[in-house]
Amino acid sequence: MRINQVSLIAVAAATAISTPAQAQDASAMQAEIEAMRAQMQAMAARIDVLEDQLVVAEAKADAATTAASAATETSGTALAAANEAKSDTTVKWKGAPLIEGKGGWSFKPRGRLQYDAGFTNAPDIDGREDGFGNEARRIRLGVEGDVPGGFGYKFEADFAGNEVEIADAMITYEDGGLKVAAGQQNNFQSMEELTSSRFTSFIERAAFTDAFNFERRVGLSASVAAGDVLVQGGLFTDNMEELSNKQWGADGRVVFMPKMGNTQLHLGGSVHYTELDKENLSVRYRQRPLVHFTSNRYIDTGAYLATSETGYGLEAAAINGPFHFAGEAFWQKSARPGLSDPTFFGGYAEVGYFLTGGDSRGYKKGIFDRVKPSNPVDEGGIGAVQINVRYDRLDLNDSTIAGGTQDGYLVSLIWTPTDYTRLMMNYGRLEYTDAALVAAGGDTSYGVDAFGVRAQIDF
């Protein structure tokens, strides 16, 4: 810029010399040149200031760009981390949310509500009432889940009858086909007993399971599955409500469950031994007529002295499309000190058929499982409709004990609208001989009619 100023001055001077006519105005011209020089110097100073400001602005712009890039990178990293954390947790729906996390964590609430109503019709018996009855059969709430390392847990409490009773309370460990469980759990006494009440084909299980006092107990068990074979065993004390007594027992069960074409077969056997608490050496076997909401038990051994119980069970079942068959036999022997040892018998045989196309009874790990309608109501279908018939035998007569016999002829109609809802209607005709409850006129051989319905939801 200063070089341009000098050039202008030189041009101005040359012009003044070469133009004599303007010599007289040299002084005026000189003044103008000086003024122009002052202006140019001011402009040069201003340009210097602007150049310095431009350098500062460029430096600030570079810093802002760097900061913006860093912020974008940080934001991207945070978003990626959030997405990664989100992808590590999944939520599935299995009647209730099943939450699964990174490393093998899972959590699921569980529960069921079963409400029963119906009636019984029996001969006149002094002090005994029949007729209408109803109850909340089960109101269960609990949780289950997995812990990293193959561990798991399950806890469930029952609130029916305005009481709180612990159903399941166990810690498990699984590795391949091995499962170990410690705590309150079902021991291995019967296929019917091990099948959840959510999936049974009648409103109550076979008569012998209740009569012989099958129940959950606190203990340590192990199950091993290899191909078509399942082996189960465990050592148990008593139900959690009865602890701490000195009772203990051992149970074992073996199941062969091959799939032959479209047919699922089931063959099983079990053995059981219980050493009774020495401070309470007594047993009692008795049973209601099909439904639970009546307190009348028409066959009953009464309580008698015993030191131990030994049980043997056989199981058989088959599922082929809409058809299924199931049957069991169980012998319960009690040891009486100084007296003969009675052996009582219970068993059943049933067949069932789905009236709706594409439906079949569920089966899993040696027990019956959930029915999943092929056309559920929530998808515009009618759900699954199943009919079942059963013969149920219980004999409590042996040795010197006459507890009576019960022959049950049962039919059930089950509607399963969705995977997790169920409506059941049951009718039973129970024929008794040597009944413990004596009817009018001293009759101990008579029949009782029982009808029950159940509304059920589970998750």
Locate 57 and state its tokens: 């602005």
Residue 92 counted as domain residue: no
Out of 84, 102, 124, a domain closes at: 84
Contact 433, 406 (CB under 8 A): no
**Alpha carbons within 13 A on the beta-carbon side of 225:** 13
Q: 244-296: per-residue pLDDT in tens?
A: 888 999 999 999 999 999 999 999 999 999 999 988 899 999 999 999 999 99
Is there a single domain that holds both residue 54 and residue 130?
no
Does residue 353 sit in the same domain as residue 287?
A: yes
Q: Which domain holds residue 127?
A: 114-134+164-458
In a domain, 109, yes or no: no
Tens of pLDDT along 206-233?
A: 999 999 999 999 999 999 999 999 999 9
Q: Are residues 41 and 187 in the same domain?
A: no
Q: What is the pLDDT of residue 8?
A: 39
For residues 72 and 128, state if they share a domain: no
Residue 436's contacts (CB-CB under 8 Å, 6 or more residues apart) are 286, 297, 298, 299, 300, 302, 403, 404
Clarify whether residues 35 and 122 are in a common domain. Answer: no
Beta bridge partners of 135: 116
| pLDDT tens profile 46-105 | 777 766 776 766 766 666 666 656 655 665 666 665 565 556 889 999 899 999 998 899
Q: How many CB atoms lie within 10 A of CB 274?
A: 24
Say whether both 55 and 121 belong to one domain.
no
Q: Phi then psi for 203, rounded to 5 degrees? A: -60, -30
Give residue 181's identity as a one-letter amino acid code: A
Residues in a beta bridge with 236: 219, 249
**pLDDT tens digits, residue range 145-160?**
999 999 999 999 999 9
Max Cα-Cα span within the chain? 165
Q: To which residue do tokens 């899972």 refer? A: 106
Determine if the peptide bond prior to 106 is cis (ω within 30°).
no
Cα–Cα dist 319/371, whole Å? 12
Residue 40 lies in a domain: yes
**Tokens 């590795």 — which residue?**
175
pLDDT confidence tier of residue 322, bands split at 50, 70 and 90: very high
| Contact in structure between 416 and 384 (CB atoms under 8 Å) | yes
pLDDT of residue 41: 77
In a domain, 294, yes or no: yes
107 located within any domain: no
CATH number at residue 308: 2.40.160.10
Residues 382-424: tens digit of each pLDDT: 999 999 999 999 999 999 999 999 999 999 999 999 999 999 9
How far apart (Å, rounded) are the C-alpha atoms in residues 122 and 439? 9
Q: What is the number of domains present in the chain?
A: 2
Question: How much is the pLDDT for 79?
Answer: 61
Same structural domain, 444 and 346: yes
CB atoms inside a 10 Å sphere around CB 40: 16
CA atoms within 13 A on the CB side of 361: 28
CA–CA dist 391, 334 (Å, integer): 25
* Same domain as 183, residue 60: no
Same domain, 202 and 53: no
Q: Are 397 and 318 within one domain?
A: yes
Alpha carbon distance 361, 366 (integer Å) = 13
Regarding whether 344 and 295 lie in a shared domain, the answer is yes
User: What is the number of helices (H) and of strands (E) in the chain?
Assistant: 4, 25
Q: Are 88 and 106 in contact (CB under 8 A)?
A: no
328-350 per-position pLDDT tens digit: 999 999 999 999 999 999 999 99
Spatial contact of 373 and 165, defined as CB atoms under 8 Å apart: no
Q: How far is C-alpha 241 from the chain's CA centre?
A: 24
Q: What are phi and psi of 278, to 5 degrees?
A: -65, -15
- Asked whether residue 230 is domain-assigned, the answer is yes
Q: How many Å apart are CA 146 and CA 408, to the nearest integer?
A: 42
Residue 146 lies in a domain: no
Taking the C-alpha atoms of residue 447 and residue 435, their distance in angstroms, rounded to an integer, is 10
Which pLDDT score, from 0 to 100, does residue 33 have? 76
In Å, how far from its chain's centre is CA 317?
25
Q: How far apart are CA 12 and CA 126, in angstroms?
A: 145
**What pLDDT does 85 receive?**
54
Q: Rounded to whole angstroms, how far apart are CA atoms 321 and 360?
A: 5
**Is 353 inside any structural domain?**
yes
Do 398 and 250 lie in one domain? The reply is yes
Is residue 232 within 8 Å of 221, Cβ to Cβ?
yes
